[in-house]
């Protein structure tokens, strides 16, 4: 008979994780969460209602109106993830969440197209006096000669900040036939050149630009970056756009420059203090302004909701969440991603071989992959190491806390040299008795197939399947047959077997992949029959 769909009462009965939605989100967000969660709603702006509703929530979804601080986090006994359906996190206390072991995620790329398009719109509107011309026409005035504008074609635009939005703006303005220069100390000149952008210092950009668009994060270093001194260097024909963050352009200096005719016009979407309705900048006819609309498109809101819904699903299943700001900032390089599940498996194999929590662990990453940020692989290793050790679900947030609680010192070792493999990931640790355990893996072929290539100094080449066993013994004839015979009697089928030894007659290692879990008593029989130094089973299910 077909299974009946769960009704709301059934979902509660089977204790589905609770997702609390504290603000209005798109219907697609709820649909993306799927049927695996109990969806509840509250008014996040109502403090008392939020504190009452958060008590047994596993996930909290907010936008900008809900303040998630230490008080809210303390009231949330089961909370695992806070998801902000947008880019900013001004309303979420990330530090308090991290201390509470709560993952914080946002949707960092959801609005980049919308923000880039608005910056271009403001530039065009300012260059062609769209706002005052529109106001004059509505007032019954036809003033064509007064609002003669400027073309973008064959002008120089200076992009300040060549991040994701800055790059999109550069691409779009290049299509207008503009010469694009940019200032960004964190971007290599070669990368900029590949995009057809000439990288310059800020002073050069100020002198050469006919148009300027700001796309920087707001930090102590960038606040007031474009001030009186900088605006004294620009052309009087400059059109300046800031659709990034308020305060990067000094508003008092900008007002003076516009009022005195030292720059031609400005397009603004952001202000130092928001909401802003009384800035003297709004009195100027050569300013076109919008109320922080960079992310205010239906498409951006939809993308944000879908992105955080996916993140919540990953977070509540204990998986890596690339958009988690307090775990792995930014987007994980595509070259690194395939190594994440492999590293988790290596961590689980390491724990299975060790039989205890190590005192010290090195996560060694070698080869071409080290050109990218591989910090996430350290987290993946820790998640694998503790997955089969602790009762609670291990995540990329609490794995480092579990290591600290257990006195496990962890070190990430990066080496671009990898003589035998294109990339190699090794977990190497020291146990309480001073002995060491190591396991290495790599990815091979176009399909990036996972392979175990070393265990405790023995070279291997075996797939890390669901059921593995590792037998260390004194090398002598008949041992392979002994292992096969005992497993056969127990009804355990061998999928793959490898024997590795360092010297004839010395220690040897048999690595097995089998179709089903090896019973504990069967493993004991094998260990006894082989007089094995160690016999360890690892189950990656």
Q: Which domains does the chain have, with CATH numbers?
A: 17-110+300-316 (3.40.50.720), 112-289 (3.40.50.720), 339-539 (3.30.1330.90)
* Percent residues over pLDDT 70 in the chain: 95
Cβ atoms < 10 Å from Cβ of 99: 13
Per annotation, catalytic residue among 274, 299, 356, 368: 274
Per-residue pLDDT reduced to its tens digit, 121-167:
999 999 999 999 999 999 999 999 999 999 999 999 999 998 889 99
Please compute the mean of the pLDDT values over residues 271-299 and round it to a whole number.
94
Positive or negative: CA dihedral 144, 147, 148, 150 = negative
CA distance 446 to 448: 5
According to the model, what pLDDT value does residue 285 have?
Answer: 95
According to the model, what pLDDT value does residue 10 have?
Answer: 46
Per annotation, catalytic residue among 63, 183, 292, 536: 292
Least confident of 127-131, 372-376, 483-487: 372-376
Is the pLDDT confidence value at 3 over 70? Answer: no
According to the model, what pLDDT value does residue 391 have?
Answer: 61
* Percent residues over pLDDT 90 in the chain: 70
Find tokens 């990034």 and name the residue.
244
Two structure tokens written together for 429:
């640790």
- Contacts with 517 (C-beta within 8 Å, 6 or more apart), sequence order: 467, 537, 539, 541
Under 8 Å between Cβ of 32 and 52: no
Average pLDDT taken over every residue of the chain: 90
Point out which residues pair with 121 in neighbouring strands.
none
Please compute the mean of the pLDDT values over residues 496-525 and round it to a whole number.
92
Under 8 Å between Cβ of 340 and 322: no
Of residues 67, 76, 63, 72, the one with CA closest to residue 25: 63
Of residues 482, 471, 537, the one with CA closest to residue 507: 471
Looking at per-residue pLDDT, the higher value among 522 and 405 belongs to 522
Per annotation, catalytic residue among 128, 129, 183, 245: 245
CA distances 121 to 172, 247, 288, 407, 480, Å, are 11, 21, 10, 55, 73
Please compute the mean of the pLDDT values over residues 58-78 and round it to a whole number.
94
Task: Using pLDDT thresholds of 50, 70 and 90, give the confidence band for residue 9.
Answer: very low
pTM, 2 dp: 0.65
CA distances 139 to 130, 132, 143, 159, 267, Å, are 14, 10, 11, 36, 22
Residue 238 C-alpha from the chain's centroid: 37
- State yes or no: is 11 an active-site residue: no
- State yes or no: is 274 an active-site residue: yes
Least confident of 187-196, 294-303, 444-453, 454-463: 187-196
- Contacts with 36 (C-beta within 8 Å, 6 or more apart), sequence order: 16, 17, 313
Exposure string for 32-42, b = 16+ CB within 10 A, e = fewer:
bbeeebbbeeb
Of residues 223, 244, 241, 226, the one with CA closest to residue 292: 244
According to the model, what pLDDT value does residue 535 have?
Answer: 93
Is the pLDDT confidence value at 85 over 70? Answer: yes
CA distance 82 to 20: 10
Per-residue pLDDT reduced to its tens digit, 400-455:
888 887 778 999 999 999 999 999 999 999 987 889 999 999 999 888 899 999 99
Task: Using pLDDT thresholds of 50, 70 and 90, give the confidence band for residue 393.
Answer: low
């Amino acid at each position: 008979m077909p299974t009946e769909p769960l009704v709301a009462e059934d979902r509660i009965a089977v204790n589905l994780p609770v997702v609390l939605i504290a603000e209005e989100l798109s219907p697609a967000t709820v649909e993306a969460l799927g049927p695996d969660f109990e969806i509840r709603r509250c008014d996040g702006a109502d403090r008392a209602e939020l504190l009452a509703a958060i008590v047994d929530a596993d996930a909290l979804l907010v936008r900008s109106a809900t303040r998630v601080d230490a008080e809210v986090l303390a009231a949330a006994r089961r909370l695992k993830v806070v998801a902000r359906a947008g880019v900013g996190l001004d309303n979420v206390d990330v530090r308090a969440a991290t201390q509470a072991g709560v993952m914080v995620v946002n949707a960092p790329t959801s609005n980049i197209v919308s923000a880039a398009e608005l910056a271009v719109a403001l530039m065009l509107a300012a260059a062609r006096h769209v706002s005052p011309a529109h106001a004059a026409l509505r007032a019954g005035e036809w003033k064509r000669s007064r609002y003669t504008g400027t073309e973008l074609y064959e002008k120089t635009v200076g992009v300040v900040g060549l991040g994701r939005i800055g790059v999109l703006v550069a691409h779009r303005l290049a299509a207008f036939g503009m010469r694009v220069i940019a200032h960004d100390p964190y971007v290599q000149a070669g990368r900029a050149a590949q995009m057809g952008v000439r990288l310059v210092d800020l002073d050069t950009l100020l002198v050469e630009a006919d148009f300027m668009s700001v796309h920087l994060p707001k930090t102590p270093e960038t606040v007031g970056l474009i001030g009186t001194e900088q605006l004294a260097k620009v052309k009087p024909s400059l059109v300046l756009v800031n659709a990034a963050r308020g305060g990067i352009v000094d508003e008092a200096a900008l007002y003076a420059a516009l009022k005195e005719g030292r720059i031609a016009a400005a397009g603004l979407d952001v202000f130092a203090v928001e909401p802003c309705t009384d800035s003297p900048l709004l009195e100027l006819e050569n300013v076109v302004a919008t109320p922080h609309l960079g992310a205010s498109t239906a498409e951006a809101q939809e993308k944000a909701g879908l992105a955080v819904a996916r993140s919540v699903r990953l977070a509540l299943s204990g998986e890596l969440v690339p958009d988690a700001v307090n775990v792995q900032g930014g987007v994980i390089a595509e070259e690194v991603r395939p190594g994440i599940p492999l590293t988790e498996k290596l961590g689980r194999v390491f724990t299975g071989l060790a039989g205890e929590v190590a005192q010290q662990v090195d996560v060694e990453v070698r080869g071409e992959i080290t050109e990218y940020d591989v910090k996430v692989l350290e987290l993946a290793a820790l998640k694998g190491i503790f997955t089969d050790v602790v009762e609670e679900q291990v995540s990329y947030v609490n794995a480092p806390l579990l290591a600290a609680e257990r006195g496990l010192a962890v070190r990430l070792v990066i080496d671009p040299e990898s003589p035998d493999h294109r990339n190699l990931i090794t977990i190497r640790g020291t146990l309480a008795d001073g002995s060491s355990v190591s396991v290495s893996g790599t990815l091979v072929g176009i399909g990036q197939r996972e392979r175990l290539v070393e265990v405790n100094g023995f070279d291997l080449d075996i797939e890390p399947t669901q059921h593995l066993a590792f037998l260390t013994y004194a090398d002598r004839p008949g041992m392979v047959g002994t292992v096969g015979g005992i497993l056969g009697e127990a009804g355990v089928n061998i999928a793959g077997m490898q024997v590795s030894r360092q010297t004839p007659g010395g220690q040897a290692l048999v690595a097995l992949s089998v179709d089903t879990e090896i019973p504990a008593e069967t493993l004991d029989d094998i260990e006894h029959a082989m007089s094995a130094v160690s016999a360890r089973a690892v189950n990656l299910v």
